[in-house]
Amino acid sequence: MDVANHAALQNTLAALEIDRQKIVSTQKKGYIFIVLAIILTIAGFYFGIGVFAILAGLIPAVYGGSLLYKIADALTTYMQSFKVDVIGSVLKSVNESLQIQPALGISSEEFEQTQLFTQEPDRYRSEDLINGKADKTSFYFAEVHAEYKTEVQTKNGTRTEWHDIFRGIIFVADFNKNFKAATVVRPKDLFGQMGAWFSKNVFSFGNNTLVELENSVFNQTFTTHGTDQVEARYILTPAMMERILELNRNSKNTISLSFINNRMNIAFPLDRNYFEAPVFKTLLNPELLNQDVAAIKFMYEIVKELDLNTRIWGKD
Amino acid sequence: MIIALIIIAVIFLFGIFFYNSLIGRKNQVINAFSAIDVMLKKRFDLIPNLVETVKQYTKYEQSTLTKITELRTKATSPSVSDAEKAQIDAQLSSSVKGLMVNIENYPDLKANQNFINLQTTWTESEEQIAAARRTYNSAVTDYNNAIMMFPGNMFAGMLNFHPTPVLATAEEERKNISAKELFNN
């Protein structure tokens, strides 16, 4: 998509830019008055006129605070209209069916049901739900940030530390084959691998869910677990494994996939918040939307890349 | 004395674990093989329905239909061995594939909902059989590795564990599709 030559989008951006400048200048004004209040108070105390100092400081503080309070609503509206109008029209230009619901996301229950990650989140946030349909395959994706906490003992008591379980985009699509079991493909890690090896070779009992596939590159990149060995291979055909590897090569970090309830879930770890309006930078920068457009196109192309529109296996 | 006892106990425990893991793997091979069998049966069950549907629309495919019916009868008879069954399935598969190509000449049949359903179930079963065969081969490789690698190779013969051959891909499946052949048909 050529953002610079998209007339309607340029008009929207120009209108939003005016809002943005107003917000930034009001915010600046608000902060200046608050700083002024602090200076007046300190100066008052310094010269030994305490009561007067508080009164002198109070007036600019209240004024500055009210400016910031008033503009907070405008800021929310601005962020919201960027998502709906700007990102919305970028989505439409990629495909008519795509739409964004900024306040919605993937629920934490659904996140856990995907089984993409073993750790249960203590803090969970998801926003910017985008859904659409590529030919026969419907799909949706959203930004997700899931964390777990640890308690650390220090001299002053306990301190809570937060660690990422996952930060990035979760993509969910209707899969083109019917299946009943659950199959999970996670990046290979040494620890998990050792566990699997022990449970299989040393303790021959227990439920062995490890699926060893024929594609050696696939096995080097991922560890596959499945509740049904045959069904895992029914989903992960040699061609599908190659397509997943290709998708993984095009992603910055190693992806995780799961196939549950006739749907496929893919987790793309990312270190950037997408679809957000800049506040302190201009909207008129021609490079502004490049990364968002690339992310949207990438998600939309997954259906084609994984060949999910080939529906010859009894599922429409 | 105590050390010797500990060593004996460790060896004994190791022996139990090792023997159990071999049995587990052998059972997995048997289990994987029965999965192929289930899938094959599912496919054979499609044949009568397929033959009936095609018969209503075509006049010139009689010989193929007869051949397919015969193969199906042979495959489902109780006396047939596993190896024969696999072979019959390969023949059946290629006959049905040929039939599907010829069906291009019968637009009415191609549009028949029953036939379309059968066709998708057939492709589905094909992929499921392929998955079952791959599962079997993976189980066999795992089992063979266990009895052919050290220390398994020391005891496997003694305990009457023998390597099992993996299933070869059917010659037809391995062949690349050549456009020339397709046009000659």
Domain spans, chain A: 3-94, 99-305
Nearest Cβ partner for B131 among A204, A233, A314: A233
Q: Do B127 and A205 touch (CB under 8 A)?
A: no
* Least confident stretch, A22-26, A252-256, B175-179: B175-179
Structure-model confidence comparison of residues B184 and A215, the more confident one = A215
Q: What is the mean pLDDT of residues B118-137?
A: 89
Q: A200, A215, A229, A312: which to substitute to probe chain B, counting the most B Cβ within 10 Å?
A: A229
Tell me, what's the pLDDT at A192?
66
Q: Which pLDDT belongs to residue A197? A: 65
Distance from CA of B35 to the nearest CA of A (A): 8
The pLDDT assigned to B185 comes to: 39
Mean pLDDT of all residues belonging to chain A: 89
Q: Is the peptide bond before B151 cis (omega within 30 degrees of 0)?
A: yes
Backbone phi, psi, residue A129, to 5° = -75, 125
CA B136, CA B164: separation in Å to the nearest integer? 11
Using the beta-carbon criterion (under 8 Å), do B21 and A213 form an inter-chain contact?
Answer: no
Query: Which residue in B35, B39, B138 is closest to A212 by CB distance?
Result: B138
> Per the CB < 8 Å rule, is B138 touching A204?
no
User: Closest Cα of chain A to B38: distance in Å?
Assistant: 12
Q: Tell me which chain B residue has its CA closest to the CA of residue A199.
A: B21
| Domain layout of chain B by residue ranges | 2-184
| Shortest CA gap A261–chain B (Å) | 18
Residue-level pLDDT at A255: 95
Q: B87 or A96: whose pLDDT is higher?
A: A96
Chain B residue numbers with beta carbons less than 8 Å from the beta carbon of A233 are: 130-132, 134-135
Q: Own/partner pairs for A99-104, CB < 8 Å, 24+ apart?
A: A99/A130, A99/A131, A99/A132, A100/A128, A100/A129, A100/A130, A100/A275, A101/A128, A101/A129, A101/A130, A101/A131, A102/A127, A102/A128, A102/A129, A102/A275, A103/A127, A104/A129, A104/A142
The C-alpha of B40 sits at a distance from chain A's nearest C-alpha, in angstroms, of: 14
The answer to whether residues A91 and A130 touch, using CB atoms and an 8 Å cutoff, is yes
Q: How far is CA A14 from CA A74, A86, A290, B127, in A?
A: 16, 11, 17, 54
- For residue A90, what are its two tokens? 């970028």
Mean pLDDT is lowest, of A96-110, A262-276, B99-113, B125-139, for B99-113
Contact A230 B20 (CB under 8 A): no
Q: Of the candidates B23, B128, B138, which has its C-beta nearest A234's C-beta?
A: B128
**Number of residues that make up chain A:** 316
Greater confidence (A313 vs A42) lies with A42
**Tokens standing for residue B165:** 């051959």
| Nearest neighbour of A314 by CB, restricted to B24, B35, B120 | B120
Question: B123, A213: Cβ pair inside 8 Å?
Answer: no
The architecture (CATH level 2) of B2-184 comes to Up-down Bundle (1.20)
Residue A286: φ, ψ to 5°: -60, -20
Residue B52 has pLDDT above 50, yes or no: yes
Number of helices followed by number of strands (H, E) in chain B: 8, 0
Tens-digit pLDDT profile for residues B73-98: 888 888 888 778 888 888 888 888 88
Residue A314 three-state SS? coil
B41 — pLDDT class (breaks 50, 70, 90): confident
Decide if pLDDT at A87 tops 90.
yes
C-alpha closest to that of A161 among A143, A149, A153: A149
The pLDDT tens digits of the residues spanning A130-187 come to 999 998 899 999 999 999 999 998 888 889 999 999 999 999 999 999 999 999 999 9
Among residues of chain B, what percentage have pLDDT more than 90? Answer: 14
Q: Is the pLDDT of residue A96 over 80?
A: yes
A187-210: per-residue pLDDT in tens? 988 776 676 666 665 554 445 688
Lookup: tokens for B120: 């998708």
Which residues in chain B have Cβ-Cβ distances shorter than 8 Å to A237? 127, 130-131
Are A126 and A106 spatial neighbours (Cβ–Cβ below 8 Å)? yes
pLDDT at A223 over 70: yes
Give percent above pLDDT 70 in chain A: 92
> Which of B28, B31, B46, B124 has the most A C-beta neighbours within 10 Å, making it the best mutation to test the interface with A?
B124
From A37-41, A68-72, A137-141, B176-180, the region with the lowest mean pLDDT: B176-180
pLDDT of residue B169: 63
Q: Which chain B positions have a beta carbon within 8 Å of A310's beta carbon?
A: none
Least confident of A4-18, A80-94, B112-126, B156-170: B156-170
Q: Say if the Cβ atoms of B120 and A312 lie within 8 Å.
A: yes
